[in-house]
Structure 1
Amino acid sequence: MERRSFLRHAGLTGVLAAGAAPAVVHAQANIRWRLASSFPKSLDTIFGAAEVFAKKVGEMSGGKFQISVHAGGELMPPFGVVDGVQNGTVELAHTAPYYFFGKDETFAIGCAIPFGLNSRQMTAWMYEGNGLKLMREFYAQYNIISFPMGNTGAQMGGWYRKEIKTLADMKGLKFRIGGFAGKVVERLGSVPQNIPGGEIYQALEKGTIDAAEWVGPYDDQKLGFNKVAPFYHYPGWWEGGPQLDLYVNTKAYEGLSSEYKAIIEAAAAYAHTDMQAKYDARNPGALKQLVAAKTKVVALPKAVMDAAFKESMALYSEISSKNPNWKKVYTDYANFRREQNLWFRFTEGQFDRYMQSAKL
């Protein structure tokens, strides 16, 4: 019997029994990849997003696609993950893109910039605007393809050994602040420090720095910042909706089957939603506990906010004049932000303000 006729008449069961269709039976090869995180294992929300992703990939592939997740410092330094993926040392990384603004300021737009998009707006720009397309065009220079994979929501403004009462209090402040926002606080007279999360507590305790921001109550409490800095300011105007990214080595990704590519995309999207859900659910209780432990929660003065906004906008104009990568992405981002804020002013913002003032 001819092979084509045999396949047509035998049916799938007969084909499998006869071993005539190895491409069907073994369509997906067993793969083991490594993921380097920029975060310590102690942070079950932000580091945990990579574990959630890896678990989903394993489940959706029937265990054939396994990803081992490594905390910052295990395989490479926390801020070395871009180089690791670019060079193919690891296939994957999970990080905050703004850590790498020193390579190009455009990295920051893929995460958060001062007075930027909130988390919902950022997701909208990525998936329904031009965000993912523009950032992937930029990341192609680094042999990387990106996927949104997590967002913390709006963050707190950090921990301070002394309260910030006026703009003058920002002068000379040695401030651990993540990534690109350091450029703005520097213009306010502060001295930015880009320190990995696992090293912040010791720096605050020893007085090497005067203040530090990380994420919000749940993570900050786990890291113990309230024990060494009593003032907890808000809001984190530099992180209205910081997005975490999954970076994949382009060559490794292109070597995957279409099914495995779809699994990567779906698992990253799941982890993206899961991460913010955890922060939103856990931050309220952690904030109550911090207040009960005598933490002083204080709003940043309007003068500081206004000065930071002015300097941020001036900085963006300056970068646009000299960095074509930034100008291309930021122009689209800024247009999207303008339209989003027009809409949110009538809906989300008004509703939120009412509900937060209501006595429930």
Structure 2
Amino acid sequence: MKRLPFQFTAKILLAASLAATCGLVAPTMAQAANAGKPIVRLSFSSALGPDTAVNKQAKWYMQEVERLSQGQIQWDEFYAASLLTSVDTVSGVADGRADVAYFASVYDPSRFPLMDIGFVPVPGSNSAGNARAWRELMEENEALQAEARAAGVKVLIFNGVANTSNIATKTPYDNLQGFKGKRVRFVGPVTTGIRALGANPTSIAPEDIYESMERGLIDGIGGTSIESVIGSGWHEVAPWMHYLPIGNYASSLGIIIGQRTWDGLPDHLKTVMMEVADNYYEQLPSLLAASEKEACDKLLAAGGGTVIYDHRTPGAQEWLDAVGDSMFEVWRDNARRSRASKEAIISVEKDYKEKLLKHASLPDYTPGEVLCSARTKQG
């Protein structure tokens, strides 16, 4: 059966919300009846469903901002591409069609050729650490800051998502050879490594994945987290997740606000939003662990589970040797074609590798796929 509840529901909510707000999308101010304080309403857009991990984190962020602002900031929320599609997200936030949104650099690599390095795997990194690493990268790397300014957006938080170096399929595969000739959804520089595996990567927008898998247009869903598989309902068609030994990635994604919207906010509300961001990074390991456990429960209930490959898996080391530095080279080539300077490319790559590994060892976080694998039964 074709799954459409997120998009269908979101469109109903969109119509209702637009009717209630008289077409309001850009930030507006009204007087709070009980306190006389100006209320700032901000629209939030995501191409993904409301129950995906990144949107649950976004919801946590928005609720905390509303609470700490004592209700001065309130939100109109639009999910499942009901306001902006994935490819329209960055331009739509920059020009004010939405105020705030979930984004991934791979949605719009022409605007984020340097930031798109976040979709190159780094062995030894992990989800919670990657988010903290990107926070530092944006605070310290001038080339990345300039790229965001040029795109007309400001990053509020970088999402920590469960390991995305995986392929979700209908049935479990015992080894990497099973993926040869298979059509799998992947985006970004990692597609080079997937081709070296013998699979055929294909780019599909998140909102089209379920139907593509259901109709057999693809054999697997790659580059997504266990929470997103559950939150998007993809576990109904692909309950087996296979983790690849190439390292974690998909770390350059998060919540953005339009620069013009940000500039128009009162200073005290900006302070609230950044204080919540600080708290988010502190809470992230526990938030991530809870969502990964819940997702594992549902994956197992659907008859699936997680399979972890490492360098000892037959054929794995040969594959890793064949991949070599090729994924980083794809990113470098894309950045050069986008006219990024040699100095910027060198600085971003150096800082990216150093900071991801610096934050890789978190005593309060064990990757969810590892815990889920211990609970998985095959055969």
* Residue 82 (structure 1) shift: 0.6
Equivalent position amino acid for 2:76 in 1: S
Aligned to 2:94: 86
* Residue 208 (structure 1) shift: 0.4
Consecutive unaligned residues in structure 2, runs of 5 or more:
1-34, 375-379
Equivalent position amino acid for 1:250 in 2: Q
- Say whether 1:281 aligns with 2:281: no
CA deviation vs aligned residue, 1:199-249 (integer Å, no higher than 9, x gap): 322211211001003644444245444443464312474535735322121
DSSP-derived class of the 1:121 partner: helix
DSSP-derived class of the 1:46 partner: helix
Aligned to 2:319: 307
Equivalent position amino acid for 2:126 in 1: N
DSSP-derived class of the 1:78 partner: coil
Aligned to 1:47: 55
* Residue 63 (structure 1) shift: 1.8
- Say whether 1:107 aligns with 2:119: no
* Residue 75 (structure 1) shift: 1.2
Check the 8 A contact 1:54/1:69 in 2, yes or no.
no
Alignment of 1:1-360 (within 5 A): 29-43=38-52, 45-109=53-117, 111-115=118-122, 117-127=125-135, 129-134=136-141, 135-155=144-164, 157-161=166-170, 164=173, 168-213=177-222, 215-229=224-238, 231-235=240-244, 237=246, 239-240=248-249, 242=251, 244-272=253-281, 277-288=286-297, 290-291=299-300, 293-295=302-304, 297-300=306-309, 301=313, 303-304=315-316, 307-308=319-320, 311=323, 313-317=325-329, 319-320=331-332, 322=336, 323-324=340-341, 325-337=344-356, 344=361
* Residue 112 (structure 1) shift: 4.2
Q: 1: CA distance between counterparts of 2:245 and 2:207?
A: 20
* Residue 107 (structure 1) shift: 2.8
DSSP-derived class of the 1:30 partner: strand
Q: 2: CA distance between counterparts of 1:218 and 1:122?
A: 17
Equivalent position amino acid for 1:195 in 2: I
- RMSD over equivalenced CA pairs, Å: 3.6
* Residue 265 (structure 1) shift: 1.2
Structure 2 length-normalised TM: 0.70
CA deviation vs aligned residue, 1:44-87 (integer Å, no higher than 9, x gap): x3222222222222222222222222113211212311111222
Aligned to 1:7: none
* Residue 179 (structure 1) shift: 3.8
Equivalent position amino acid for 2:122 in 1: F
Equivalent position amino acid for 1:99 in 2: Y
Change (3 A) 1:263 1:52: same
CA deviation vs aligned residue, 1:152-192 (integer Å, no higher than 9, x gap): 23346121246555655444321112444234323444332
Consecutive unaligned residues in structure 1, runs of 5 or more:
1-25
Q: 1: CA distance between counterparts of 2:50 and 2:145?
A: 28
Q: 2: CA distance between counterparts of 1:162 and 1:69?
A: 35
DSSP-derived class of the 1:79 partner: coil
Q: Which range moved further: 113-122 or 162-171?
A: 162-171
Q: Which range moved further: 196-205 or 115-124?
A: 115-124
CA deviation vs aligned residue, 1:249-302 (integer Å, no higher than 9, x gap): 112212222211111212334445556533312433543553455426433345
Check the 8 A contact 1:50/1:271 in 2, yes or no.
no
Equivalent position amino acid for 2:254 in 1: D
